[in-house]
Chains A and B, each alone.
Chain A
Amino acid sequence: MLEVKGLGKDYGGFTAVKTLDFNLEPGEIFGFIGSNGAGKTTTIKMIASLLEPTRGTAVLDGFDVRTQSIEVRRRLGYMPDFFGLYEDIKVWEYLDFFASLYSVSARERPGVIDTVLELTDLSVKKDSFVSELSRGMQQRLCLAKCLVHDPQLLLLDEPASGLDPRARSELKGLIAELGAMGKTVIVSSHILPELADFCTSVGIIEQGELKAMGPVAEISQAIVEEHVIEIRLLESVDELAEFLKEKPHIKGLEKTGPKTLQIEFEGGEAQQAELLKYLIDTGYPVIEFIERTANLEDVFLKVTTGAVQ
């Protein structure tokens, strides 16, 4: 659906985005993570046909952003990181304006406007002036604008910035819903945990290079070779700690509480199951035996070097 092929951008002699290659399928929600200046906005703008790539291209539904930008634009909704709305008209008029630009017929427009307002939870503000909306509501109106033409690809550049926690979680819900509707969504953010729970895949970009990409769980596993297992017992873990020291696959031990123990485990899942069975068979009163997968934050810090461009 969306194919990004060797996409890159230079500003003068400075390379903002090296060469990106990835494909996204319908229904996929792609989290685009990177620190400030990593190249997220540059990449998104190139896909949105708002920035001429220096090399490579992106193809949406068979249409090339470089040569068929009008067709590409018909199929995408773009929410910039910074934007202003026309403030002196009403919310529904604003949406009506954009619906006309996307050639939604005058007959369909009222229905479309009601639908997108409902999706973005702005129905009550339909007749308010845009200038009367709060920052978060303007953010949602911009998202509503992106939806009037029922696009296949949504490019959301830091859509959650400026939203309160509640609005953030509502936004996540909305994005997940859009994914379920079969749309492809690219969401950029530098707030990492924000993306973990609803993205089907993430890409980590640093200095214009994609350092890792794939489903959240997969890249977490691929990058963090050793697993951390947390064990909680009904009794003190001192004896267990002694007992486990000489066992195979165990690289390190750390008591994190009187009754909890963290081990660095090198084995695979089969060995893990074996260890648990062994503990129970030996008679340890195990309450918890949890593999702590590295979270996105860990992955991010591990993958990137923190170099500032």
Chain B
Amino acid sequence: MSMETTRMTTSDKLKELFAALSTTNPMMAEVKRVNRKLFNVGNWKAGMTAGVILVGIIYLFFLGMIARFYDAIEAKWMLFALMAIMFIVIPVNLNGVISTEHEKRSFEMLLVAPLTPSQIAAAKLLRGAGAFLLTVGLLLVPAIWLLIVQAIKVTSMTGYNQVHPVFGLISGLCVVVSASVLSASVSVYISSRTRTIAASMASALGLHFVALVLVPVILGISGMKQVASIVTFPFTTLGIAFGDVTDLSGTVVGPYSVWLVSIPFWLGLAVVFMYMTAEQIRRSARGETGRRRLTKGEGENA
């Protein structure tokens, strides 16, 4: 890996990015630090109790759903719900990873450590993993259970394509996970571009809302359903994964094989955003981003 942080070619930077993802990264201490921060709560008994109650409520909710809607529930909608929750949980969890450092002025100390920008970006992406997996895990376990019930039900009742429901279930989950990785890397990127926690939170949630709700709705209203189905791609591919070839707006979209392409597409886009995050950190590390507002004020005085 090149030691240089300046004047690297794009392929050098990409190599560095993959090295940061695959080799030992001292920045993994970040994950530990955040875990400590989360579990260092002054009153851990109260925290534990609250946690247990929360888990209980979620599981009761899902049990109730199964009992009440056994016949009506479709696995697809469960996955939609799961993905919608992820798209809220992820930006909320990850929007502050770098903007907090800017706001609290702790970033310089990180930048002056012998780390590559990619290592910082990768660790910042992973650091939310603890809290993120916890949230998702809580939802995922009952959801998966529910989905399996659903898959078995479909198989035994209709007898159509025996493999399809389970296959669709697994692939649907893969779509959810890879789209979540993209959502996470977008959130981290936004965090690297903003200087306050409030701004990054608003931008991250706003972007998710605009991309996944507002734009498709507007496109749908204006009659461009084909385009809308592309914008709501993760949701669309979920539908496709279940052999359901219509998207949320009811438009028939693409052949069954489209969903196979979607996973590398999400992950590829995620890498692009991580690359852009690393670039942004690289610029911070060279002092190209700091003190913008102050500079302006000083310029006026001079």
**A52-B287, A69-B5 known; A82 and B114 CB under 8 Å?**
no
A243 part of interface (Cβ distance < 8 Å): no
Q: Are the CB atoms of B40 and A90 closer together than 8 Å?
A: yes
B4 part of interface (Cβ distance < 8 Å): yes
Shortest C-beta distance, A187 to chain B (Å), equals: 17
Q: Are the CB atoms of B112 and A49 closer together than 8 Å?
A: yes
B6 part of interface (Cβ distance < 8 Å): yes
Closest to B29 in A: A100
Alpha-carbon separation in the docked complex, A85 to B33 (Å): 13
Q: Are the CB atoms of B105 and A97 closer together than 8 Å?
A: no
Closest to A68 in B: B3
Closest to B286 in A: A52
B26 part of interface (Cβ distance < 8 Å): yes
Residues of B within 8 A of A102 (CB): 26, 113-114
Shortest C-beta distance, A73 to chain B (Å), equals: 4
Residues of A within 8 A of B29 (CB): 96-97, 100-101
Residues of B within 8 A of A76 (CB): 112
Q: Are the CB atoms of A83 and B106 closer together than 8 Å?
A: yes
A86 part of interface (Cβ distance < 8 Å): yes
Shortest C-beta distance, B107 to chain A (Å), equals: 9
Residues of B within 8 A of A309 (CB): 302
Q: Are the CB atoms of A50 and B33 closer together than 8 Å?
A: no
Mask, A77-104, CB within 8 Å of B = 1, is 0101011111111100100111011110
**A50-B108, A51-B286 known; A88 and B40 CB under 8 Å?**
yes
Alpha-carbon separation in the docked complex, A49 to B112 (Å): 7
Alpha-carbon separation in the docked complex, A80 to B104 (Å): 13
Closest to A82 in B: B105
A249 part of interface (Cβ distance < 8 Å): no
B111 part of interface (Cβ distance < 8 Å): yes
**A45-B287, A102-B114 known; A80 and B6 CB under 8 Å?**
no
A17 part of interface (Cβ distance < 8 Å): no
Residues of B within 8 A of A51 (CB): 286-287
Alpha-carbon separation in the docked complex, A44 to B297 (Å): 22
Alpha-carbon separation in the docked complex, A69 to B117 (Å): 12
**A69-B6, A83-B105 known; A101 and B285 CB under 8 Å?**
no
A67 part of interface (Cβ distance < 8 Å): yes
Within 8 A of B (CB), among A257-305: none
Shortest C-beta distance, B187 to chain A (Å), equals: 20
A172 part of interface (Cβ distance < 8 Å): no
**A52-B6, A66-B6, A101-B29 known; A88 and B37 CB under 8 Å?**
yes
Shortest C-beta distance, A192 to chain B (Å), equals: 24
Shortest C-beta distance, B12 to chain A (Å), equals: 13
A70 part of interface (Cβ distance < 8 Å): yes
Q: Are the CB atoms of B3 and A84 closer together than 8 Å?
A: no
Q: Are the CB atoms of A78 and B288 closer together than 8 Å?
A: no
B10 part of interface (Cβ distance < 8 Å): no
Q: Are the CB atoms of A78 and B108 closer together than 8 Å?
A: yes
**A51-B286, A52-B286 known; A101 and B26 CB under 8 Å?**
yes
Q: Which of B106, B112, B285 contacts A84 (CB 8 A)?
A: B106
Q: Which of B6, B37, B111 contacts A50 (CB 8 A)?
A: B111
Q: Are the CB atoms of B3 and A86 closer together than 8 Å?
A: no
Shortest C-beta distance, A3 to chain B (Å), equals: 19
Residues of A within 8 A of B36 (CB): 89-90, 93
A71 part of interface (Cβ distance < 8 Å): yes
Residues of B within 8 A of A50 (CB): 108, 111-112, 285-287
Alpha-carbon separation in the docked complex, A50 to B291 (Å): 13
Within 8 A of A (CB), among B69-126: 104-106, 108-116
Mask, B6-33, CB within 8 Å of A = 1, is 1100000000000000000011111011
B115, B116, B287, B299 pick with most chain A CB within 10 angstroms: B287
A145 part of interface (Cβ distance < 8 Å): yes
Residues of A within 8 A of B113 (CB): 73, 98, 101-102
Given contacts A71-B3, A83-B108, A309-B302, 4 further A-B contacts (CB under 8 A): A14-B302, A52-B6, A69-B5, A97-B33
9 closest pairs, A vs B, by CB? A51-B287, A100-B29, A84-B104, A84-B105, A101-B113, A52-B286, A73-B114, A84-B106, A88-B37
9 A-B contacts, Cβ less than 8 Å apart?
A50-B111, A52-B286, A67-B4, A88-B40, A89-B37, A97-B30, A97-B32, A100-B29, A103-B26
By a beta-carbon cutoff of 8 Å, the part of chain B in contact with chain A is: 3-7, 26-30, 32-33, 36-37, 40, 104-106, 108-116, 285-288, 295, 299, 302
